[in-house]
Amino acid sequence: MNQKGGVGKTTTTVNIAAAFAKAGRPTLLVDLDPQAHATLHLGVDPGTLEQSVYNVLTDASFDPAKAIVQTRDNLALMPAVTDLAGIEVEMATQGALDLQGQRRLEQALEKLGGKYEFVLIDCPPSLGLLTINGLSAAREVVIPMQAHFLALQGVGKLLETVQLVTANINSKLRVTGVVLCMHDTSSHHSREVVADLEGFFEQSRQQDVPWRFARVLKPAIRRNIKLAECPSFGKSIFEYAPDAPGAADYDALGTAMLKDWDSMLAKRVPAKEKGEKPAAAKSAPEKPATEKPVEEKSVAGKPALEKPKVVEKVTAKEPEKTPEKATESAAAKAGGKSPAKPAEKAPAKSGSKAAAGEKTEVIVVSAASMKVGA
C-alpha cells in the first residue's frame, strides 16, 4: 500500500502470487482495480470476460467460483473489469453501502472454503468501497514503496488508515511489512530512508497497533527493466525472464514469506495433536500485564516518518480493592497461595494467521489511503 503512484504495487502482487504458485502452493489473486492491470499482467483480456469480481460484489448470491479463471498451475485469478469503476453507484442503488456491502468479498472468499492456501488482493488507487472490501477480507497488509523521502512521508497516513479499519471493521488486520521496489542500494538517500523506516517500526514494538510486528521485508526488489516489460506479454517475471535480477529477488521474497508461514503452521500442529489450543486461539487474560512505555529514538538525527495517530481503545477500569478484599488477598499470600498469572499471548509472526484453525492466508497489497501506487 502506498499513496505515491508507480511504486510497484501490481507488479509485487502478481509476482509474489507467481512465486507462491511456483512453489506448489494453491494461490488465488483477486484484482479489485478497475484498470485491471493485474488481470492483464496474467494474460487475461478483461473485454472477453462474462463473469468477474464485479458479479461477486454486486450479487451476494453469486457463486464466486464462476468468476475464477485458472491461469496457471496453482495460480487462479478473480479478474477485474472496467465496470468496477461504477461499483459504488451500482451498490448504492441496491442499498448495499452498509457493513454487509463492505464485506461482500470476505463472504465470497468464505464460500470457496479451503481451496486456496493463499489469497492475494490487488486494490485500486482510492479508499472507496473496493479497497474497504479488500481490507475487510484480508489478514495481512504488504506495503510496496520506493525508498524516497516523499514515499516515506505517506506511510504514516497509510498506517493510520489501517488502524481505523482495524478498530471499526476488521480487528484481525495486521501490517506484515514494507517491500522496497526499484531499490538502489548504492544511494545514500535510499539507505537513510530505510534506516528511518526500520527505526519507526522498532519504536512500535511495545505499542498496541496493527504494525507492531511489521518490518522491512528482505530482499529488496532491485530496479530491473524486465519487470516493466513482462506485463505487456501477459507473463510473470519467472516466465518472461527467469534469469533476471527481478526474478531472483521476487523468488527470494516469496520463499521468505512461505518460510514464515510454514514456521507458524509447524508450531500450531503439535498443539493440535496434544488437544491444546494454539497460542493464537487462547482467550485473552482478564488482566493483561501493562506494557512499559518505550522511549522514542530519532533516526539519523531527525525522524523523517510522521508517527500516525493511534486510535485508543476504551477499556473498563479495574475496581479498587476494598479493605475486605485486601485482607483476603493478604490471607491468601499467608497461606502460600499466589494468584494465578494470566497467560501471556504469544506475538504473531509475519505470515501467521490471526485466528487459529484457518487454512487460507489472505494478503492485501494495496493502498489504504486516498491514493495508491499501481
Domain residue limits, the chain: 9-272+349-365
Closest by CA to 74, choosing from 11, 20, 13, 10, is 20
The stretch 278-296 carries a mean pLDDT of 44
pTM (predicted TM-score): 0.73
Q: Does residue 277 carry a pLDDT above 90?
A: no
- Mean pLDDT over all residues of the chain? 78
The three cell numbers of residue 73 are 498451475
pLDDT for the residue numbered 268: 78
At residue 124, the 3 state secondary structure works out as coil
**Straight-line distance from the first to the last Cα atom of the chain, in angstroms, rounded to the nearest whole number:** 9
- Is 9-272+349-365 in CATH node 3.40.50.300? yes
CA atoms within 13 A on the CB side of 176: 28
* Bridge partners (DSSP) listed for residue 119: 28, 362
Counting residues of the chain whose pLDDT is more than 90, the rounded percentage is 50
Report the sign of the C-alpha dihedral through residues 234, 31, 24, 257, in that order.
positive
Between 283 and 179, where is the model more confident? 179
pLDDT digits (tens, 9 = 90+) for 115-131: 999 999 998 877 788 98
Secondary structure tally for the chain: helices H, strands E: 13, 8
The stretch 205-220 carries a mean pLDDT of 93
pLDDT digits (tens, 9 = 90+) for 9-53: 899 999 999 999 999 999 999 999 999 999 999 999 999 999 999
pLDDT for the residue numbered 374: 36
Strand order in the sheet with 215-216: 69-72, 75-78, 27-31, 118-122, 361-365, 140-145, 174-180, 215-216
Rg from Cα positions in the chain = 22
User: At 54, which helix (H) or strand (E)?
Assistant: helix 53-58
- The position carrying cell 491444546 is 276
The three cell numbers of residue 60 are 451476494
pLDDT for the residue numbered 353: 41
Cα separation of 251 and 19, whole Å? 6
Rounded to the nearest 5 degrees, what angle is found at the Cα of 86, between the Cα atoms of 82 and 92? 150
Cα separation of 163 and 363, whole Å? 16
pLDDT for the residue numbered 359: 57
How far from 261 is each of 140, 265, 280, 281, 367, CA to CA, in Å? 12, 6, 14, 17, 23
Q: What one-character-per-residue DSSP string does 126-169 give?
A: SSSHHHHHHHHH-SEEEEEE-S-HHHHHHHHHHHHHHHHHHHHT
pLDDT band at 276 (very low <50, low <70, confident <90, very high): low
The three cell numbers of residue 318 are 479495574
The stretch 137-149 carries a mean pLDDT of 91
